Structure formats: structure tokens, C-alpha cells
């Protein structure tokens, strides 16, 4: 009977080791996905901000041209 008890104890230990491995893999995947999302949001916000600044400069440039044209008109 002693071998049956040892077998069930070893089986239970292997079960919890497997659960711990699965949990560790899930946490690593979650960290990797979170890093990818944060990196994408950072990249996309930088692109959007640079587009915003570029459109502001274009608008300011077109306003200056409009004022220059209206000043030359008689």
C-alpha cells in the first residue's frame, strides 16, 4: 500500500507543478501582449501628434498667404 500513497502524492505534486508552469506561461504572454499594446499606443500617438502639428503649420501657412493676397488687393 505504501507505493500507492507515494504514487498519488507524486501525481498531486506533478499536477501542481503543471498548474504553476501554465500560470507562468499565461503571465509571460500577458506581459508580452501588454508591452505590444503600450508600444503600439505610444507609436500611434506620436504619429497622430506629428500629423496634428503638421496640419497646424499648414493652416498657419495658408492663413499667412491669404493675408498677403488681401493686403495687395486695391
pLDDT digits (tens, 9 = 90+) for 43-66: 889 888 888 888 877 766 655 545
- Whether the full predicted model's pTM is greater than 0.75, yes or no, is no
What pLDDT is attached to residue 71?
54
- In angstroms, the CA 72 to CA 13 distance is 89
Amino acid at each position: 500500500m505504501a507505493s500507492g500513497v507515494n504514487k498519488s502524492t507524486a501525481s498531486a505534486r506533478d499536477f501542481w507543478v503543471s498548474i504553476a508552469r501554465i500560470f507562468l506561461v499565461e503571465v509571460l504572454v500577458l506581459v508580452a501582449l501588454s508591452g505590444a499594446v503600450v508600444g503600439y499606443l505610444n507609436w500611434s500617438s506620436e504619429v497622430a501628434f506629428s500629423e496634428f502639428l503638421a496640419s497646424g503649420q499648414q493652416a498657419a501657412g495658408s492663413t499667412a498667404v491669404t493675408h498677403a493676397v488681401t493686403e495687395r488687393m486695391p
